[in-house]
Structures are given as structure tokens and as C-alpha cells.
Chain A
């Protein structure tokens, strides 16, 4: 093993396996696993609840993670960071809390056609419950969104716009700054789904124009089950709680309750403190590697993979023609071979890819493809893996009985 970027990832030490499903979830380095383990081994206790030393320490560790996340995405105040389970839960929180109390009949909600189902279904729900319309910003086959689309699909009655910063299918970055500018022009609130961007590029919620920003820890090498919701303090303070119960109250009487201030108001029940500690360790890890190195490596691997795919007959990739804009994601199809068969065949060579619709059914319909195969890379992948992957791809059609 000559790839030093794999050193901290025990699961990647066996060269037999090639892990190209990083857009689904990344691997965790030993620093993250150790941080979680250390929490449970040395200070485990319910944060916020006790007045004894361990609880004070676990509270401090949890709050330290909150500050780290705030800094990581450029939030002004750490109380603007709410810990959730994942991006999906964060978006559901916004939809139920802000959406249902601010959106009404006659209003409009705008999303893009590139959204993951988790940034579509909550808005379908708000639209159904309130009677507000739901409008889609469409993209070209390369994933490009035109200025006219942004202008036309965010009409003046729009109350909320929600868009992914990076598509989980095409890897393309959406023109978030332009979208949020238009959203703010019409007085709408801007939600940015950063599930695919936070692992790959620096995030600055202010520069994005995001009123809300969400991401999942597990896609940035943190444990599963810890996610983030950033919201502007003034918005969060105006919103009703999403879940009700312990640790989110100021005082409770028989028939009433006064809620705790933000962020506790949105963190009912025992929190995932160990997960938050793991997320803090993951952020340290990402920052230590550096986003410049991360994107350099991803760009190089994407170029190699796309150039290779272009030379394989019957095989085509989707999205931008510029490999550097793919954020590690290469989605492709082999003519006559269903992506699930492609994935099963690559699995026999211990290559892990995703196949299907990647929770983006409307985008697949828009692109006119029933399903696709997706190889998604991260900085710890390397050239030899891409080469082995390309060799395996060449064999798929003959496995399926085609003569060439």
C-alpha cells in the first residue's frame, strides 16, 4: 500500500476492495473512531443533565463540537447550529417548523429538478398541507441552470427556495449564489442542502446566501447519526420547536411549557453527544488534509476516470464535460446493461459502486434514463483503483452475453 491517504482508514488497508461509494457514505479515519470511543470510555454521561464532573465534561465536549461546526461553515454564532441525525432530518425540521408556520395558500415553494428526495418530499408535504404551489428549476442535460430559469421559476410569491449545493447524481455545483440572490429579492428564505458539498469544498453560509444550511456528518467521515442544521438566529428564534420533550424546555406546568432558547429548543431528548464529538474530530481531520488537497486529488481521479470511460465502447457518462466539475462523482451507463447488473458484476471484483436512481427519481426522468451506475470518489482513492475499475468495466458487456 503506497497510498498514504489510506493510512488512517483501517477498512481501506485491504487493497482487495475498491470503495467508490463515497457519495453514499465516506469511511472513518481512526481519529474519528478513537474520539467516539474515548467519549464512551472516559466521560460518558448525559450532557446538559447532570451537575457532576463527567456530565460537565460531556457537555463541554458536545458544545465544543457545536463551535467547531459553526466555524467550519462560517456561522456567526454557535447557537445557530442545531444537531440532528442527518440532512434529511434537518430539512424535515425546517419544513415542519418554518414551512408549516410561514407558508400558506397562494404562496410558492421552489426547488430544483436535481434534488435528492430528502430535499423534495418535505416540500411536497408543505405544499400539500398548505396549498402552496411547488415549482421546479430545470437543468440542461449537463446539469447547467440558466439565469432565465432562476428568474422565471422564483416568482414574486415565493416564500422558500431549497437547492442542493452539489448534485448527488451529476456532481455538478449549482449556482447557489445566484439562486439565493433571486430568492432574497422576492423575500423568500433560502435553504441550501450541503450533503454533497460539505465533504468536498469550504462552506461559507454567508457567501452562499443561505438562511438555512444542512449537512450529514457521515458523508464527511463522521459517525452515522449526526447531522447539522444551520439557521440564522433570528429565523430559529421565531420558529416553533419540531420535537417536544426533555431538555428543550425552560419550565413545564400541567398544561403548558416555556421552551428553552435556541439551540436547545430544537434538540429534544438525549442528544448524540458521541456523534457530535466524532463530527468535531472529522472536521479536524478534513481541515488537516485541506480542501485544496482534497479537490486536487478528486479532480485528478475524475479526469482519469472520465477519460477512461470515453475510450470504452458502449459506455457513457452523464453531466458536465469538464471532469474537474464533478466533485468526485461519475455517473454512467453501459448500453444494454442495467446498472444493477453492472454493480453486481463489479462486486465480483470487489468494487463498490451505487446503482439505481440514487434517491433522485425526478432527475432521472428529466434526463430520460431509467437508472444509472455511480462511482463516487474521495481523496483517499487513487489512480490504481481507477485503472482497475476501468479494466473491470470493459468486461461487463461480455459477462452479460454480448459479443463485444
Chain B
């Protein structure tokens, strides 16, 4: 996919009109993610129930279209799923960004597959993974 098409696919819905941008009160988990080189700064907030299901999640902060859209797509995918499932999805996403994902992995990534070609834009990889890395960290630091 050309850079132009990546932008078309990801920005239309997710950058200009994100579904999960905002803040929630009393989140179970909250974490900041920073991209020092570009100044991107996001905050992730998760509401997770006792059985480990992600009931709701939002992101706030500022960043480039790639990081914002990737974050929004990520939350679309994991809301309603268990933390184990979300960790599996994250793993698949990271492998996809490296160009190593299997067909099965691509399937569970659904819309996030639109970001697969970021692998050809090495400078933008860290933008695409900012939200994912932050979510990974939330679950790693809060093992049940």
C-alpha cells in the first residue's frame, strides 16, 4: 500500500473522528505513553472487570495521525475482550509491523491490518506502536 492509501484508510475514521478519544472516571488502569523523538504523548485508561474483561477503554493526548489512529483501532479491537486476548492481539500486531505475522494473526487484527504497510515506513513504526506498547505495559505491570 502506498503512503497515500495508508493515510486514506487510517485517517478518515480514526484520526479525525476517533471513537475512543476522551477520559473516563475511576479507571482500573491508567498509563502514559511517550515518543520522545516526536513529542507524541498519550494516556490510556482501562476499565477491566473482575474476570479480566476490558469493559471500556479510552485514550487522550496528542500525536500524529498514525499514532492516534493506531490507538483508536487498537481500542476498537480489545474492548469487550479479555486481557489475555488483548495480549495475543498485541503480539500479532507487533509481528505484523515487523512483517512477520501469519495469516491467522492478520485475521485477528481485523482493521488494524491497514497498518501493515507501516513496516515500509521505518520512521513511522514507533508512531504506530505507541498505543500498543503502552497497553502491553499496563497488563505487564498489573499481572493478576
Contact = CB atoms under 8 A, between A and B. Distances in A.
Interface of A: 337-341, 343-345, 347-348, 355-357, 361, 364, 370-371, 399-402
Given A338-B63, A343-B123, 17 more contacts: A337-B65, A338-B65, A338-B67, A339-B38, A340-B64, A340-B123, A340-B124, A340-B127, A341-B64, A344-B121, A356-B38, A356-B39, A357-B38, A361-B39, A400-B7, A400-B16, A402-B16
B7 A340 contact: no
Contacts of B3: 344-345, 347-348
A371 B39 CA distance: 6
Interface string B106-144: 000000000000000101100100000000000000000
A344 B41 CA distance: 19
B4 A370 contact: no
Given A370-B39, A371-B39, A344 B16 contact: no
Contacts of B12: 401
Query: B15, B38, B40 — which one has the most chain A CB atoms within 10 A of its CB?
Result: B38
B25 interface: no
B41 A370 contact: yes
10 contacts: A338-B38, A338-B63, A338-B65, A340-B38, A340-B127, A356-B37, A357-B39, A371-B38, A400-B16, A401-B11
B73 to A, nearest CB: 15
B4 A355 contact: no
A103 to B, nearest CB: 28
Interface in B1-60: 2-4, 7-8, 11-12, 15-16, 36-41
A401 B38 contact: no
Nearest to B127: A340
Contacts of B15: 400-401
A338 B40 CA distance: 9
B9 to A, nearest CB: 11
Contacts, number: 63
A381 B15 CA distance: 35
B65 A370 contact: no
Query: A339, A347, A400, A402 — which one has the most chain B CB atoms within 10 A of its CB?
Result: A400
A399 B39 contact: no
B2 A348 contact: yes
Query: A338, A348, A357, A364 — which one has the most chain B CB atoms within 10 A of its CB?
Result: A338
Contacts of A348: 2-4
A341 B64 CA distance: 6
A348 B121 CA distance: 11
B92 interface: no
Contacts of B67: 338
A344 B124 CA distance: 8
A370 B65 CA distance: 14
Contacts of B37: 356-357
A344 B123 contact: yes
Contacts of A364: 39
Closest 10 A/B residue pairs (Cβ) = A338-B64, A371-B39, A370-B39, A340-B64, A401-B11, A356-B38, A341-B65, A348-B3, A341-B64, A340-B38
A345 B7 contact: yes
Query: A339, A340, A345, A356 — which one has the most chain B CB atoms within 10 A of its CB?
Result: A340
A370 B37 CA distance: 11
A35 B63 CA distance: 45
B70 to A, nearest CB: 12
B76 to A, nearest CB: 18
B66 interface: yes
Contacts of B65: 337-338, 341, 400
Contacts of B41: 370
A341 B66 contact: yes
A400 B12 CA distance: 8
Nearest to A369: B39
B119 to A, nearest CB: 14
A403 to B, nearest CB: 10
Contact of B11 (A339, A343, A400): A400
Contacts of A341: 7, 64-66
A345 B12 CA distance: 15
B6 to A, nearest CB: 9
A402 B7 CA distance: 12
Contacts of B11: 400-401
Nearest to A355: B38
